């Protein structure tokens, strides 16, 4: 790892060269570098937290001035209980995961002595652009090294002191390993994001970690593939057979566990048959947690009958825009789904709303019917579709991936929480002994392909 | 399938709606549509070939005028022996492949009653832009339907008559199946490519099939992910221990089997130790097939001693630009690799040349050493890396994929020959019974994740 103020093109070129060597290292050589990374970060905790405290002090001043959003402070703060330890543990979790490189996923006997193999390999060079969270450096460095990819990291100015401290500490750790120093480069030069995004001949994938604005800026300004998500507009649909307890539990957890997260709930769809039975209990539980509801007329009318005047202060009328809004706050849009017709048609109406308004992140159905849950799961075009479970489970740690690069709402390559597998691609290897393709034809003397599937392990 | 002159935004929107229904169809419903597609194309062979003959006649005139490249004629001609039958057989091959949708590729028990599954699903809407080859319509329609994706096809003006004939024939076939008519739309309006490329809210993947210029134009002009390759600059390295017969066979087949193909050989690297032993035999075999050689000074000097004056007329001095040129013709660039140092360092020198100059398509090593072959295969950053086998094997049919969408030199999603799998992505499904993420923590009363890997089949 090196902290650099080189020109973006030189950073990208040296990362590309480093990536070629890194791709040939064994799993144990890559793991040794992660062990060294973990030890160095553990040993230098005090110095890094001191640097982070300086960032936090500056950011607090900026927040009090009104020049910085207060929500940044929490993301910036490495000293929050458990945060530093989680970061350290994340490195070991990644180290101890199965090697994502060199996995054979297809093996075919094309002809006698001619075999085809598909083998996983690193993508090459990753560019990670992040804002406030300094622990991203450790997460990404660990995932990049484990998956054999070189990484270029560009942090936001709010985390600069933490960034420099971490880079200096880890630089030495990596230098003592077989991983090339240029495999992880931290760019501290300011205003170089656009120049980095132009290095499409050296950089293979961009991963923006930060605000919707950052992600949108990156997507609009590069020809390099971008992995990530701008919005997290998650919805839940309460079907007419939903159990009250299940609905209350899942909706409240989805909305209130961490409202600023991309996997928090933003829209609640309620089958009209349960507007008077299930919905009031869900609404009251949400109100008790401080959630404001933006209701359509049918759902608001029901609450007007069941809630106290004090409670009703938290209930407003929804506008159409509310169903396209990622509130990232204790606000929830509520819409009624018509129950006219079959149960399937109600599910289809919920699906139509979600496929049109959601951001293809994570959506939920609450029902006791396996058939309707399957219909919903097949029809919703989102990275995650959950049945009777909170949208907050959409997370790489919770999925058991060790840690995550981010959550992707892309429709290709990698979708949902992206762990190590999302940082690999594959190549096709053929082993022959002088085979030419011209010998395979239907005419006289022509050979035919065997196309026989072989076991994946030798 | 429908032939349309609707506005691009309407085409894209209706494809997106159709894709949602298509994604929920069973494999047998999709297969039935393919059977109907095959029968209709078989039944209407004469009418389609007559339309194709009209395209060919117009194109022949244009080629004779000099306003069209002669190489287009061959690609346009559906009446070449075996071509129509291959197209028909391709549809049945795709139909009979394993269903790519609904495959469970990960199943984890997160906690009691809480399971995570990763299941393959269609990507959504594909836009295929092609030039002369009318059989692409059948290939792509088959692959799209089998993989549950909607497809928008835009052909070149050279194949317009064939295009309209095929569209009309197949339209009826699909209309009688459960596959929505808007799942496959053939856009005949001219000059709409740019407008289609702007429909990134409805179209998920663009696949250009045609000239390098077409692919580059598409890549430069859309925010939609593009799957394909502009260049196919394939290289072969003859190591010092290569067998003469193997080298001759593989190099000649790679270069001459179909020189206009993207998987044809363009650069030959020769270890200097075999310049006087293996190389002259390879060169002579190439010259006998009409190949011109663009040699560096060392390889040219050797040939000057061994070839006749007549043969030497086919040997020119290479310029640096020749090592970056996809000739697509009977021309091959030749470069000598220094043998100073270890065998590994010679392989590394070949690797360095290839990783810098090749287009990451397919590259070959000719050696008798398994260790050196593995070093080469690990180090070359290309979609295909072949040992003692022709680059011409880089092809979906030859790989056993039934047919192919194209060959990708992308570093993400799908690489090399792309078959059905490349047209799918996955979603994560969670099934619970009222689980909330807030219950999982280290504190008192907190639950812990099990993260237990489950068998992939129920």
Is there a contact between A429 and B385 if contact means CB atoms under 8 Å apart? yes
Give the mean pLDDT of chain A: 93
Distance of CA B154 to the CA centre of its chain: 18
Whether domain A2-220 has CATH 3.20.20.105: the reply is no
Least confidently predicted of A63-77, A83-97, A310-324, B97-111: A63-77
- Provide the pLDDT for residue B458: 62
| pLDDT class of B146 with cuts at 50, 70, 90 | very high
B305 touches chain A (CB under 8 A): no
pLDDT of B226 reads 92
Q: Which whole number is the average pLDDT over A22-51?
A: 96
Among chain A residues, the shortest Cα distance to B434 is held by A246
Q: pLDDT value at position B136?
A: 82
pTM for the model stands at 0.91
Residues of B in contact with A250 (CB under 8 A): 432, 434-436
- pLDDT at residue B1 above 60? no
| Per-residue pLDDT tens digits for A424-457 | 999 999 999 999 999 999 889 999 999 999 999 8
Q: Which of A249, A378, A389 sits opposite B430 (nearest CB)?
A: A389
What are the structure tokens assigned to B120, written together?
């393959």
Q: Can you tell me the ipTM of this complex?
A: 0.92
Q: Tell whether A381 lies on the interface with B, counting CB pairs under 8 A.
A: yes
- Chain A residues closer than 8 Å to B108 by CB: 399-400
- CA dist B83 and A458 (Å) reads 38
H/E/C letters for each residue in A220-283?
A: HCCCCCECCCCCCCEEEEECCCCCHHHHHHHHHHHHHCCCCCCCCEEEEEEEHHHCCCHHHHHH
B219/B123 Cα distance (integer angstroms): 19
The predicted structure's pLDDT at residue A447: 97
Is A426 in Cβ contact with B373 (below 8 Å)?
A: no
**B366 vs A135, residue with greater confidence:** B366
The verdict on a CB contact (< 8 Å) between B411 and A373 is no
* DSSP class of B22: H
* Minimal CA separation from B365 to chain A, in Å: 10
A115/B contact by beta carbon, under 8 A: no
In terms of C-beta density within 10 A (0-12 exposed, 13-18 middle, 19 or more buried), how is residue B261 classed?
A: middle
Record the tokens describing residue B83, joined without a space.
């071509």
Most confident of the ranges A47-56, A89-98, A171-180:
A47-56
Backbone angles phi, psi at B159, to 5 degrees: -105, 20
Chain B residues with CB under 8 Å of A147 CB are none
Decide if pLDDT at B222 tops 60.
yes
CATH number of A234-398: 3.40.309.10
Chain A interface includes B83 (CB < 8 A)? no
**Quick one: pLDDT band at residue A458, thresholds 50, 70, 90?**
low
A to B CB pairs, distance under 8 Å: 249
Task: Give the closest of A24, A108, A253 to B436, CB-based.
Answer: A253
Taking CA A346 as the corner, what is the angle to CA A341 and CA A352, rounded to the nearest 5 degrees?
A: 130
**Sequential DSSP letters for B144-195:** HHHTT-EEEEE--GGGHHHHHHHHHHHHHHHHTSSS-GGGEEEE--SS-HHH
Q: Is the per-residue pLDDT at A132 higher than 60?
A: yes
**Nearest CB to B430; choose among A124, A384, A440:** A384
As given in the structure block, the two tokens for residue B364 are 């070959």
Q: What is the DSSP string of A348-370?
A: HHHHHHHHHHS-SSEEEEE-S-H
Q: What pLDDT, in 10s, does the model give residues B232-252?
A: 999 999 999 999 999 999 999
B-facing residues of A in 167-206 (CB < 8 A) are 204-205
The answer, yes or no, to whether residue A2 has pLDDT greater than 70, is: no
Q: What confidence category does residue B289 fall into, taking pLDDT thresholds of 50, 70 and 90?
A: very high
Q: What is the mean pLDDT of residues B94-118?
A: 95
User: Which residues of chain B neighbour A257 with C-beta distances below 8 Å?
Assistant: 436-438
Q: Do B2-220 and B234-398 share a fold?
A: no
pLDDT per position as a tens digit, A220-229: 899 899 998 8
For chain A, say whether B292 makes contact (Cβ under 8 Å).
no
Listed in sequence order, the DSSP H helices in B23-78 are 27-43, 45-65, 71-76
Q: Which residue has the higher pLDDT, B451 or A401?
A: B451
Measure CB to CB from residue A390 to each of B416, B437, B442 and give the nearest one: B437
- Residues 230..249 of A with a Cβ closer than 8 Å to B: which? 243, 245-246, 249
Contact B222, B200 (CB under 8 A): yes
What's the pLDDT score for residue B170? Answer: 80
- A393–B108 C-beta distance less than 8 A: no
- The confidence band for B337, taking pLDDT boundaries of 50, 70 and 90, is very high
B18 CB-side CA count, 13 A: 28
C-beta contacts of B178-182 below 8 A and 24+ residues apart:
B178/B25, B178/B29, B178/B32, B178/B33, B179/B22, B179/B25, B179/B29, B179/B30, B179/B33, B179/B145, B180/B17, B180/B18, B180/B21, B180/B22, B180/B150, B181/B1, B181/B2, B181/B18, B182/B2, B182/B14, B182/B15, B182/B17, B182/B18, B182/B150
Dist CA A96 CA B451 (whole Å): 14
Domains of chain A by residue range: 2-220, 234-398
CA distance B434 to B39: 50
């Amino acid at each position: 790892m090196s902290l650099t103020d080189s020109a973006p093109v030189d950073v990208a070129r040296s990362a590309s060269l480093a990536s070629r060597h890194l791709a040939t290292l064994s799993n144990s050589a890559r793991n040794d570098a992660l062990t060294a990374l973990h030890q160095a970060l553990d040993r230098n905790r005090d110095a890094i937290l001191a640097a982070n405290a300086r960032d936090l002090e500056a950011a607090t001043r900026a927040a009090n001035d009104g020049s910085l959003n207060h929500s940044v402070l929490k993301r910036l703060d490495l000293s929050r209980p458990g945060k530093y330890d989680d970061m350290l543990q994340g490195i070991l979790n990644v180290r101890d995961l199965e090697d994502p490189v060199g996995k054979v996923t297809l093996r075919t006997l094309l002809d006698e002595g001619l075999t085809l193999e598909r083998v996983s390999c690193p993508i090459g060079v990753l560019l990670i652009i992040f804002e406030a969270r300094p622990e991203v450096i450790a997460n990404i460095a660990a995932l990049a090294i484990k998956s054999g990819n070189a990484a270029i990291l560009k942090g936001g100015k709010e985390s600069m002191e933490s960034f420099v401290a971490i880079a200096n500490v880890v630089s030495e750790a990596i230098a003592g390993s077989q991983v090339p120093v240029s495999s992880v480069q931290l760019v501290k030069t300011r205003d170089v994001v656009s120049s980095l995004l132009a290095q499409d001949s050296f950089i293979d994938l961009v991963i923006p970690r930060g605000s919707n604005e950052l992600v949108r800026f990156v997507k609009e300004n590069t020809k390099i593939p971008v992995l990530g998500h701008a919005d997290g507009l998650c919805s839940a649909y309460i079907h007419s057979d939903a159990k009250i307890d299940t609905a209350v539990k899942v909706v409240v957890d989805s909305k209130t566990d961490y409202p600023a997260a991309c996997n928090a709930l933003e829209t609640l769809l309620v089958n009209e048959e349960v507007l008077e039975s299930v919905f009031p209990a869900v609404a009251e539980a949400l109100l008790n947690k401080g959630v404001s509801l933006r209701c359509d007329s049918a759902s608001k009318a029901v609450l007007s009958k069941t809630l106290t005047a004090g409670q009703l202060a938290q209930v407003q009328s929804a506008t159409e825009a509310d169903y396209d809004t990622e509130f990232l706050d204790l606000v929830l849009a509520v819409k009624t789904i018509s129950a006219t017709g079959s149960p399937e048609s109600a599910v289809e109406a919920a699906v139509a709303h979600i496929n049109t308004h959601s951001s293809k992140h994570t959506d939920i159905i609450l029902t006791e019917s396996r058939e309707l849950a399957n219909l919903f799961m097949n029809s919703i075009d989102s990275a995650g579709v959950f049945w009777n479970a909170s949208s907050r489970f959409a997370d790489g740690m919770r999925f058991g991936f060790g840690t995550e690069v981010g959550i992707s709402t892309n429709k290709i390559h990698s979708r949902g929480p992206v762990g190590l597998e999302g940082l690999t691609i594959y190549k096709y290897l053929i082993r022959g002994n002088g085979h030419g393709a011209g010998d395979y034809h239907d005419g006289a003397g022509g050979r035919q392909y065997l196309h026989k599937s072989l076991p994946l392990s030798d």
